[in-house]
């Protein structure tokens, strides 16, 4: 019988998933079905299928079912199984059973992309580009390809997926690319899919390794922020008070196609209100702050999160309530912030700056801040 019944070596999913839902009274779980198939026996009236599940290195019977077809549809949860088929002749007598066949049902997991390197490709004639993707739940049989934004897909000439499912190395020929931005797409067996944009290719750029450069691309942004002032030394900031409020607007332009850090310029305009102590008397001050900073931006996850570093100088104009003259102050500052692109093109940003006010009696302060902003399309 074993020579006549040849079990096919694999199974495949008929239905991979349903929508998960939950209410106060009931819930629906995701389920998927497998189809086990074998070669039909012309002398068999029906078949008995025995499925055993591995538990603690021992197989225990999981399902025993009869069918008149040469296949069976079952719903197996993720685990290791083995099964065999016993044919019954027209007199309903059991014939020789097939050999045990081992199968493994993998869980339905959504793939995740955490980092893509490099994010900028430098064109070279007859070159092979290697793109490394790190993340999670990347199945060995996953389908991975590049998709040009608004265009066609590019299939790698070679895919190497790590055994732990956290990385994949993709190779592409230079001739496969056209000018534009691409997103990488990962589709696990069963249909779970994820994608991440941000790969830039420009065939008109004359590059040769790291020293080459692509045509610059930029994104502009504007941030409205609340920046309290926390004095740490000196007298100009009014050390008798814990914090001085400030509203500020940041306008910036940053590159989008440098790797791994994008650079740019940022202009900040703000307004402070604080008290200063002169000859034992408290005197209210308002101050207008103008700053110009160098900005370095490092993307973290799917280009939706990033770290921003700032260094620059500014000019503060302080106006005393009792004195009509202006007190001009020059300051230097540095800081770091975390930006989260919540819903394109809007983002949240929070960080902390340090500022040093020059003068006969130098003063310094920390400026923790939080803001919301909008960023132009990259």
pLDDT at site 100: 92
Question: Mean pLDDT over residues 186-212, rounded?
Answer: 69
pTM: 0.45
Is residue 227 within 8 Å of 369, Cβ to Cβ?
yes
Is residue 304 within 8 Å of 340, Cβ to Cβ?
yes
Top pLDDT among 302 and 332 is at: 332
Of the chain, the end-to-end C-alpha distance in Å amounts to 65
pLDDT at site 198: 78
Count of CB atoms within 10 A of residue 337's CB?
Answer: 22
Q: 84-137, pLDDT tens digit by residue?
A: 999 999 888 988 889 999 988 877 788 999 888 888 887 776 778 889 999 999
Average pLDDT value for the chain = 78
Q: Determine the Cα–Cα distance for residues 243 and 233; give it in Å rounded to an integer.
A: 13
Residue found by looking up tokens 């069963």 in the block: 190
pLDDT at site 288: 81
For domain 218-375, give the fold: Porin (2.40.160)
- Whether the CA torsion 249, 253, 257, 258 is positive or negative: it is negative
Q: 220-244, pLDDT tens digit by residue?
A: 999 999 988 888 887 655 544 445 6
Top pLDDT among 269 and 16 is at: 269
User: 192 phi and psi, to 5 degrees?
Assistant: -70, 130
Assign domain 12-105 to its CATH architecture. Sandwich (2.60)
User: 252 phi and psi, to 5 degrees?
Assistant: -145, 160
Give the DSSP H/E element, type plus range, for residue 284: strand 281-299
On the question of pLDDT at 21 being above 50, the answer is no
- CATH code for residues 112-211: 2.60.40.10
The boundaries of every CATH 2.40.160.20 domain in the chain are: 218-375
333: three-class secondary structure by DSSP: strand
Is residue 358 within 8 Å of 328, Cβ to Cβ?
no
Q: Determine the Cα–Cα distance for residues 237 and 243; give it in Å rounded to an integer.
A: 9
Question: Please, which pLDDT band fits residue 301 given cuts at 50, 70 and 90?
Answer: low
The boundaries of every CATH 2.60.40.10 domain in the chain are: 12-105, 112-211
Q: Determine the Cα–Cα distance for residues 333 and 105; give it in Å rounded to an integer.
A: 57
pLDDT at site 212: 38
Q: Determine the Cα–Cα distance for residues 96 and 41; give it in Å rounded to an integer.
A: 12
Question: Mean pLDDT over residues 27-39, rounded?
Answer: 69
């Amino acid at each position: 019988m074993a020579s006549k019944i040849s079990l096919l070596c694999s199974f495949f999913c008929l239905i991979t998933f349903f929508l998960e839902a939950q209410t106060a009274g009931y819930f629906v779980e995701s389920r998927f079905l497998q189809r086990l198939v074998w070669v039909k026996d012309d002398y068999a009236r029906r078949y008995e299928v025995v499925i055993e599940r591995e538990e603690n290195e021992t197989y225990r019977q999981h399902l025993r079912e009869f069918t008149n077809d040469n296949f069976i549809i079952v719903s197996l949860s993720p685990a290791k199984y083995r099964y065999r088929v016993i044919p019954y002749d027209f007199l309903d007598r059991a014939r020789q059973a097939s050999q045990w066949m081992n199968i493994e049902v993998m869980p339905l997991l959504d793939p995740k992309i955490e980092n893509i390197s490099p994010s900028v490709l430098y064109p070279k004639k007859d070159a092979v580009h290697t793109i490394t993707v790190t993340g999670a739940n990347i199945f060995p049989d996953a389908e991975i390809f590049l998709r040009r934004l608004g265009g066609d897909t590019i299939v790698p000439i070679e895919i190497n997926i790590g055994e732990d499912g956290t990385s994949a190395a993709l190779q592409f020929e230079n001739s496969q690319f056209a000018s534009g931005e691409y997103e990488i797409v990962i589709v696990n067996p069963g249909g779970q899919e994820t994608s991440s944009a941000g790969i830039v290719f420009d065939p008109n750029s004359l590059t040769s390794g790291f020293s080459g450069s692509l045509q610059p691309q930029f994104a502009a942004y504007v941030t409205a922020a609340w920046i309290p002032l926390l004095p740490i030394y000196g007298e100009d900031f009014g050390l008798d008070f814990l914090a001085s409020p400030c509203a500020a607007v940041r306008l910036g332009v940053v590159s989008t196609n440098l790797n791994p850090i994008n650079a740019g310029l940022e202009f900040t305009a703000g307004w402070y209100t604080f008290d200063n102590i002169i000859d034992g008397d408290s005197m209210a001050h308002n101050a207008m702050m103008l700053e110009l900073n160098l900005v370095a931006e490092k993307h973290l996850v799917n280009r939706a999160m990033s770290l921003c570093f700032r260094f620059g100088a500014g000019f503060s104009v302080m106006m005393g309530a009792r004195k009509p003259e202006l007190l001009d102050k020059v300051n230097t500052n540095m800081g770091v912030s975390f930006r989260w692109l919540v819903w394109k093109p809007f983002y949240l940003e929070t960080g902390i700056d340090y500022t040093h006010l020059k003068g006969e009696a130098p003063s310094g302060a920390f400026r923790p801040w939080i803001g919301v902003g909008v960023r132009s399309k990259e």
